[in-house]
Structure 1
Amino acid sequence: MDGARTTDTLGFGLPPAETRVVVAMSGGVDSSAVAALLASEGYDTVGVTLQLYDHGAAIQKANACCAGRDIHDARRVAEAMGFPHYVLDYESKFREAVIDEFADAYLGGATPVPCIRCNERVKFQDLLETARDLDADCMATGHYIRRLDGPGGPELHMAADPVRDQSYFLFSTTREQLAFLRFPLGGLATKAQTRALAARFGLPVADKPDSQDICFVPDGDYAAVIEKLRPGAAQPGDVVHADGRVLGTHDGVIRYTIGQRRGLGLGGLAEPLYVVKLDAEARQVVVGPKEMLATRTVPLKEVNWLGDGPPEGVHEIRAKVRSTVPPRDAVLRIEGSRASVELAAAERGVSPGQACVFYAPEGTRVLGGGWITAG
């Protein structure tokens, strides 16, 4: 299923009963299908669900992961398949490692991707260590990505289904973590196959809708969450044209993102304008024509390298600067703590706080990635 060249799903070459696997269960259909599959094959399966934020608020939101309903659903799956299930309180860790940074990044004029930080700092760090403490041989998740054996050890590859591929959100996975992780759904051709798998096991979540929003952001209203976390964050300021003209006012930089066109309150102007820069310190939303969004040079920080050989030097890659665009031809340059990507063709709306993920020039291998900075 995940591409390992061995005699069993998880790639250990041992009888499943002798292989203990901790499954990270969010309560959704993907992780539930993974847990049920492994349990049905006779693996010593242990389900673990993380309580990431307050149930009282979360339980009201049906489509968020790790909310009260989802913990209940994960428990029901474990009971139906007959394996143990534990709920771990990670609220404090999640707040410190993910939510606080999310709020502070928006206050600084960046556009963060908290799902990447959650994978990096919570699921693939603390939860992975918990799996080791439980004497697990590996940890399995419901992510759509593949772990393939290469000449130099395990490699990270895009999912077989490009529509479901989650490699953008997992670029910061380290080599050590990758050695312990398994992704049984990565080789499936479609999401429909996952639901069919869940239906085959009679799981109560087989038809459960996919989560659409960031789990702690009800209805996608980022500004409301940030204002609650950082009272007074939405301070008014000026909407300024790139040529210096003040065109209007806004009610908080946190309400805007690079590339935004709608909702600027600038009707009646002769040219369409887009947000081209957010100056949090000056409380300015800077707008300009569409061509000002185009850039070829992408400065990076916190680079994670999964390619062969040392990261230093120049690498031909394909780069993905947003989760919703395909990888583009590019050149990666790494020198000490400094790194940048030079895109073969300009991209619009490259925003600090987003990730730039590296892929091999040909094929599906993920070579790592880094966080986009303002330079």
Structure 2
Amino acid sequence: MNKIPVFNGYVRQDGKVGVRNYVAILPAVVCVNEVVEAIVANTVMTQGIIHHQGCCQTPPDLERTTDCLIKIGENPNVGAVLIVSLGCEGVDTDRLEAAIRATGKPVERINVQELGGTSAAIKVGLDKAQSLIMQIANIQRTKVDMSHFVIGIKCGASDTTSGIAANPVIGYVADKVIDMGGTVMFGETTEFIGAEHILQRRAKNETVAKDITRIVTEMENRVKAIGVDMRRGQPTPGNIKGGLSTIEEKSLGAIVKSGTKPIEGVIGYTETPRGKGLWIKDSPGREIELLSGMAVGGAQIILFSTGRGAPQGFPVVPVIKICGNPLTYENMKNDMDINAGLITLGTRSIEEVGEETFAKLLRVADGETSKGEAIKYSKSMDFYMLGPVI
């Protein structure tokens, strides 16, 4: 009888389970990023959420930024949170603090203006960060089953090998995680265009099918509203050099990473899945906003396929890179975790590399570092905004 996999995670007071145990240093606004970076540079177990929002935005985007920061603080890989406020930002810092505190996690907040400026805020911030680190440092890992697992999936710097090797591997793993009771999110709405009818066939019901059409239409209309089309932006120049000629062709390869399971629903950028199984997150294709959206959605780990070589990670969520191009893998082997290029060469099957990737997923969940984590390539992030800076 096959043994059912488990992983060793950090069980939080709200019942979520993390695979890392970080103190997240959250800037309420772009203006205090340097304070956050100084605190992170002088502490262990901390990760800065260096974004560029929080002021001079429309009210819906200020609300969205607040929601994103709350959800990052709620992510199970975060054990405690230090909020760094300037004092005049548009983000609702009271709501931010109250929502994260409601999870049972330790939370502290500093205000740069009230403390007398940058140097004073860094000193106080270091003391508060140290206190938070000490409060969570002794939390032990506990064995839990796969029903607690939430993964995000992504493809970037794609070429022709992405759709035939790396993305099918992620689809294999996504199906396996769901069969074991876990949750999978995929997004990149831009890369559904021309293939949305295929996703609709897997929709759980007619409402979900209509939601898939809706988000694709909204994404197309955003581009049309400024009087241009998507070419050069999607597919990117790198995609085209890698052999992808149209957004439809790119989409056909991109959706393969979602596997074969029914789509339970469509969630907004700031939302988390409303149950187990496979969920679409309405989100753009660019790495920094997509990775952030997966962390906002509660992902513990992100599987990221690439053909030309995309090395980005994320501050509080390990990112595992699966490379479908054997030449890229050899050229960038210190960034790539899994060589799916062996499928392209015909020496390994999708199932074999899928099992290798699943085993890596469990090891990373248990504490093994991804290659990006090992070299601290983990700062690329920002939030997906709807309106202009004003």
Q: Same fold (TM over 0.5)?
A: no
> In proportion to residue count, which structure has more helix?
2
| TM-score between the two structures when normalised by the length of structure 2 | 0.25
Specify which structure has the bigger relative contact order, considering alpha-carbon pairs within 8 angstroms and separated by 6 or more residues: 2
| TM-score between the two structures when normalised by the length of structure 1 | 0.26
Q: Which has the larger radius of gyration?
A: 1
